[in-house]
A = this chain, B = another copy of it.
Amino acid sequence: MTFSEENYLKTIYHLTSVSDADISTNAIAEKMETKASSVTDMLKKLSEKDLVNYVKYQGVSLTDKGKLAAKMIVRKHRLWECFLVEKLDFSWDEVHDIAEQLEHIKSEKLINKLDDFLGNPTEDPHGDPIPDANGRIIKVEKELLSEFEKNQIGICVGVKDTSSDFLKYLDKQEIALGSQIEIIEKESFDSSFRIRVGTKEITISNKIASNIYIK
């Protein structure tokens, strides 16, 4: 399997996890910053290899084989992110791009040994679940901070947007995985929030609140 094929599978997998319905050519093209015509070419190839169910003009979905392959790539990506943060002391906003490369290293033995070396983590540095060697995922209940109401208290357990910019913003506000967050006020006009993080009180926009997962 080529890097490119792996990247398409991963993208389809991620798009599937939000929409459930078949994925459109354009959706893939947009997410991968490529052209629809290139996507069509690749879908034919992946279909030929029984990794996706593809019907012309009707969108695409992963086969069982394709889904497992995608999960294994996600597993590698997230385990390498753990390694970078926990062993090499990278910050959580620096690891994604490097993991994008490392996820394509081919060696089952390597990834399983890495998994053990890291103590078989179930979540990556952004709170996303890590599939095990069989593709099984432990799903954790979590809600967006934006869905919370006044006086509710929760723990930050993940982020929806994992861009470096957003993560750096959270660092600045001292919001990290494990931080306790209390809703002091919810402004009805713009749905912004007044929250308490640790000892500090801050105001965050609704856009920020809808990218933080709370439990």
Contact = CB atoms under 8 A, between A and B. Distances in A.
A23 B24 CA distance: 52
A88 B113 contact: yes
Contact of A98 (B89, B101, B107, B117): B107
A113 B114 CA distance: 17
Q: Is the interface of A mostly helix, strand, loop or mixed?
A: helix
Interface string A26-38: 0000000000000
Contact of A88 (B89, B94, B105, B114): B114
A110 B97 CA distance: 11
A84 B110 contact: yes
Contacts of A90: 109, 113
B89 A113 contact: yes
A164 to B, nearest CB: 14
A89 B97 CA distance: 27
Nearest to A106: B101
Nearest to A84: B110
A102 interface: yes
Contacts of A114: 88
A200 interface: no
Given A84-B110, A98-B110, 6 more contacts: A88-B110, A90-B113, A94-B109, A97-B107, A98-B107, A101-B107
19 contacts: A84-B110, A87-B117, A88-B110, A88-B113, A88-B114, A88-B117, A89-B113, A90-B109, A90-B113, A94-B109, A97-B107, A98-B105, A98-B107, A98-B110, A101-B105, A101-B106, A101-B107, A102-B105, A105-B105
